[in-house]
Structure 1
Amino acid sequence: MKLPELDTETIDRIIEMAWEDRTPFDAIEAQFGLLEKQVIALMKREMKESSFRMWRERVTQRKTKHLAKREFVAGRFKSDNQKT
C-alpha cells in the first residue's frame, strides 16, 4: 500500500488518534487524507508486531471507530487537536 510522505510529528498524531477508542477513521481521513486501509498499513509499519495485533483486535471490536456503526451522533468529547 502506497502511503504519502509524512513527517514524524504527523505520524505520531495519526497513531495517537488511531489508538483513541472514540476517534473514528473518518476523522483521521478528514484531517490527514488517509483512508482506513492506509491507517492500518501505517500502524503495521510503525508498530511492533505484537502491538499491531493488539490494536487490530481492539479496533475490530469497537463500533466507535466507524461512524456508520456508532449509536450516538453528537454530545461526545472532541479533542482540540481534531479538526473534524
Structure 2
Amino acid sequence: MENSENKSKFTDRELDRIIEMAWEDRTTFDAIAFQFDLKEQEVIALMRREMKPSSFKMWRARVQGRSTKHAAKRNFEKGTFKSTRQKQITHNKISKR
C-alpha cells in the first residue's frame, strides 16, 4: 500500500529526478531524503518498481557499498568535488591559465 502512496505522491517529473539523482555517483541518499523526503529503503523500492529488473540489478550492484552515496562515508566534508583539470569560469568565458 505504501508503494501506491509514494507513486501518487510524485509527479512524473519528480520521479524522473529521483531516479536521475539515484543514478548519480556523488548524489547522496541524504540529498534525496532532504529534497523528496524518501529514506534510502524507499528509494530502493522506488527504483525496483520504476525500472526494468535488469536495470535495477545493474543500479543496485553499482550503488551497493559505494561510499559516495552515503554522506557519513565520504572522504570530504562539504562542497563539491572539482577536478584540478577543470578550468575556471569567469564572466561566461573560460579563463586561460
TM normalised by structure 2 equals: 0.74
Answer yes or no: is 1:74 the counterpart of 2:72: no
Answer yes or no: is 1:36 the counterpart of 2:20: no
Answer yes or no: is 1:50 the counterpart of 2:79: no
Query: Which residue of structure 2 aligns with residue 2 of structure 1?
Result: 2
Percent of residue pairs bearing the same amino acid type: 62
Shift of 1:73: 1.3
Q: Distance in 2 between matches of 1:40 and 1:47?
A: 10
Whose relative contact order is higher, 1 or 2, with alpha carbons under 8 Å and at least 6 apart?
A: 1
Higher strand share: 2
Identify unmatched segments of 5+ residues in structure 1: 78-84
Shift of 1:10: 0.4
TM normalised by structure 1 equals: 0.85
Instruction: Mark the structure with the bigger radius of gyration.
Output: 2
Aligned length: 77
Q: Distance in 2 between matches of 1:75 and 1:62?
A: 19
Q: Distance in 1 between matches of 2:79 and 2:18?
A: 23
Identify unmatched segments of 5+ residues in structure 2: 82-97
1:19-34 maps to which residues of 2 (within 5 A)? 19-34=23-38
Q: Distance in 1 between matches of 2:68 and 2:15?
A: 21
Query: Which residue of structure 1 aligns with residue 63 of structure 2?
Result: 59
Q: Distance in 2 between matches of 1:40 and 1:75?
A: 26
Shift of 1:35: 0.4
